[in-house]
Amino acid sequence: MDEAQGADGANRKKSLLLLIAGIAGLTILGGGGGWVLGGMIAPAVPEPEKPAAKGGEHDAKEEGIPKIATEANGVVLLDPVTTNLAYPSDSWIRLEIALAFNGPPELPLAEDIHQDILAYVRTVSLQQIEGPRGFQYLRDDIQERVALRSQGKVSKVMFRTMVIE
């Protein structure tokens, strides 16, 4: 009976070793196939050209993808609004907002809108802006304030980021 148990133990070790080898082989095959497929599907991203410096001057051409939020496009990115909330006063909020103007952007108006948003956010409590519904109320309130302040010159308020700490 000892020989039968010894042969059975050897078969178990052999089958376990084959199982581990099979799993390792499939993992390598799957990883390699994913890498090849990803290379075929993903577009090739060209490296940005480095501007040649001539006597300390920089080329006027920007590197990378052009920004959408530019004054030429009628979009003004406001400075980040960072302030504490009304309640609890130890909670802070940071908003990054862009304004889309109907015509040419007016920078003094954009600065007035920035200050108005800052003053409004200081009156908001954390409970008012919790959750998706609270965020929607905040967006609607700020959109309404901007529409009143700009008298229709701003077509859209775009929230880029909102962080509450």
Residues 103-132 pLDDT 10s:
888 889 999 999 999 999 999 999 999 999
- For residue 65, is it within any domain? no
Instruction: Give the predicted TM-score (pTM) of the model.
Output: 0.57
24, two tokens: 């390792």
- For residue 66, is it within any domain? no
Instruction: Over range 41-55, report the average pLDDT.
Output: 63
Same structural domain, 137 and 89: yes
Report the Cα 42 to chain-centroid distance in Å: 20
CB atoms within 10 A of CB 35: 10
Report the Cα 142 to chain-centroid distance in Å: 21
Which pLDDT belongs to residue 117? Answer: 94
Which pLDDT belongs to residue 68? Answer: 61
Q: Cα-flanking dihedrals φ and ψ of residue 164, to 5°? A: -120, 130
Alpha-carbon distance values, 94 to 72, 100, 118, 121 (Å) = 26, 20, 10, 10
Same structural domain, 28 and 108: no
Total domains present in the chain: 2
Same structural domain, 5 and 42: yes
Q: What is the pLDDT of residues 80-98, one digit of tens each?
A: 999 999 998 899 999 999 9
- For residue 59, is it within any domain? no
Same structural domain, 37 and 76: no
